[in-house]
Amino acid sequence: MPLLSRSGFEIDIRSAEAVIRDYVGVDPRPWFRLPFGEGWDDAKLQHRIELFGYRHVGWHVDVQEWRPEATAPEVEEAIVAGTLATGDGAVILLHTWPRLTLSVENVILRLADRGATFVRLDDLPNAPAGLPLEAEETPAPGLALAQPREPSAPSDVETHVPIAPARP
């Protein structure tokens, strides 16, 4: 996105918004994720996004499920471990296009068993604006996770995981 011209930027944002509205039936505003997080700390780019009614939201947990060698069980484990390690308000980066089929139901059940509740992104008091600096420094088996904090005891865990698009 930082490399797009003004008109290219506008075309890209308006095209994506139209696809989301047509297929999902909601206005995606104000939430926007910069591809690769590129430009999350660029004030000029952030201003351009805001002109269209958006705000970049980052993530806490990146399981890199798009990698060809990633397996569904590894990714599911990485999601659960990364979410519990991050704690309250964890935002997980997942993509819609990997070839792998994850059991989202299994992940949700495992997190719920540990005390997690699930909310919409707009219900989080502090959605991340940037990227976890340690994302590439803490590899899980075959995957990378955001730097985990010390996990709480299972009875103390209350993790809010956004699972739905922003309200229209």
Pick 40 or 154 by higher pLDDT.
Answer: 40
Give the separation between CA 83 and CA 158, rounded to whole angstroms: 10
pLDDT tens per residue across span 94-130: 887 767 777 888 999 999 999 998 888 888 878 888 7
| Residue 76 domain flag | yes
Does residue 120 sit in the same domain as residue 156?
yes
Does residue 41 sit in the same domain as residue 119?
no
| Residue 168 domain flag | no
Q: What is the structure's pLDDT at 98?
A: 64
Does residue 90 sit in the same domain as residue 135?
yes
Does residue 37 sit in the same domain as residue 66?
no
Which residue, 129, 148, 128, is CA-closest to 140? 148
Does residue 48 sit in the same domain as residue 89?
no
pLDDT tens per residue across span 139-163: 343 333 333 333 333 333 344 454 4
Task: Work out how many domains the chain is built from and give that number.
Answer: 2
| Residue 28 domain flag | yes
Does residue 48 sit in the same domain as residue 20?
yes
- Pairing outcome for strands 143-145 and 138-140: antiparallel
Residue numbers of the domain that contains 10: 6-56
Q: How confident is the model at residue 81 (pLDDT cuts 50, 70, 90)?
A: very high
Does residue 35 sit in the same domain as residue 85?
no
User: Is the whole model's pTM more than 0.75, yes or no?
Assistant: no
Does residue 35 sit in the same domain as residue 66?
no
pLDDT tens per residue across span 17-27: 999 999 999 89
